[in-house]
Structure 1
Amino acid sequence: MASREMRRLQADERAILERHLSEYPVKLGQIARELGVTIKVSSLHTGVSGQIKREGDGYVIRVNRHEARERQRFTIAHELSHFLLHRHIIDSTPEGIKDNVLYRSGAPERIEFEANRLAADIVMPMELVEKALRDEFSGVVMDATIEGLAARFQVSKAAMEIRLSTFADAA
């Protein structure tokens, strides 16, 4: 079932995402390229995980090179989510949207919540996580299961724990 945020996307943007949500780890770089967004790994200020802003005719995501790869992947998905859902905010300020380590940008909390939820849908698609849980872990959720799923989707254990808790809430 698609999230509210996924349903809000333009049909062509949703189609780009859906082409890449059938195998893990989800290829975020390919999604960004197809959306016309450039990703740069950069040295950002301490406490800043990522930023998306308009540069010239396009959009650039900068992700903090000093953070763990799993963290960088979620940050990329989060910034792509801002691009898909909140482009008007990015376009309204020269610095775009800059997110700290708690994915707070100074934008209204709802904006960050929406970006986090769509980012989770992108990097850990519900149907794909459920399939991996069923096929590879016999549907049993234990600490080792969470670690295994996190490794397969290349996300942090904490991100996978949160994702699995949303399944329980939806059930």
Structure 2
Amino acid sequence: MAVRRKLIREMVEALLAKHRISHGAVPVEKIVESYGIKLSLDEVDDELSGFLVREPGKNKRSVIGANKAHHPHRQRFTIAHELGHFLLHKGEMVHLDQGRGALAINLRNEQSSRGEDQDEREANLFAAELLMPAIFLAKDLEGVSLDILGDSGVLDRLAKKYKVSTQALTFRLANLGYIQL
């Protein structure tokens, strides 16, 4: 099954319109909270970037967690990634002891970031689309010449504007066809 690029772009565009967001940096935390999802920055193993926990049933409480020790830009990407899982994937059921039922869990770790699993690729794409929307970048890059080997001022300025790493922005621009890696 192929990554659902069109669906993800349409979902993100609808989210941006719903929240009246017309420029970066996208307030991903506010979007998460609009779904009633609790956001938690926790001290966890460094290999774990974040997690999504969904409790099935009437209450359907959900929590998105991000590693408190990671850079704020990485935390934002992790939060957006987990929101992508929330909206796109059901997660894996984990059964608890002592009759406490089950939880659906998605984890973001080193394996996730390599993008080898379709769900992970979709969540990564969702995060990139949400944090660095194609339509916003198109406006920002109108009439701009990009030279990633020369002056990186444009990349640095855009990364700061969108509150993402220069590396994430570079990959996004390459995926959108603005630059070649």
Category of TM-score, reference length = shorter chain: 0.7 to 0.9
1:68 to 67, 71, 74: 71
Amino acid at match of 2:91: I
Residue 28 of structure 1 aligns with an amino acid whose one-letter code is: V
- Confirm or deny that 1:149 pairs with 2:158: yes
Q: Corresponding residue for 2:8?
A: 6
Considering only aligned residues, what root-mean-square deviation do their CA atoms show, in Å? 2.7
Tell me the TM-score normalized by structure 1: 0.82
1:59 aligns with 2:68: no
Within 5 Å, which residues of 2 pair with 1:1-171? 3-6=5-8, 9=11, 15-20=14-19, 21-55=21-55, 57-86=60-89, 88-90=90-92, 92-93=93-94, 94=103, 96-104=105-113, 109-134=117-142, 138-142=143-147, 143-168=152-177
Task: Identify unmatched segments of 5+ residues in structure 1.
Answer: none
Alpha carbons 1:5, 1:114 under 8 Å: kept: no
- In 1, Cα distance between equivalents of 2:39 and 2:69: 15
Deviation at 1:22, TM superposition (A): 1.5
CA contact (8 A) 2:52 2:106 kept: yes
Q: How many residues align?
A: 160
TM-score norm. by structure 2 comes to 0.78
SS in 2 for 1:96: strand
8 Å contact 1:16–1:34 — kept in the other structure? no
| Cα separation, 2, equivalents of 1:14 and 1:140 | 26
Q: Pick the structure with greater CA Rg.
A: 2
Q: Which amino acid aligns with 1:45?
A: D
Distance 2:52 2:74 in 1: 16
Structure 2 spans left out of the alignment, 5+ residues? 95-102
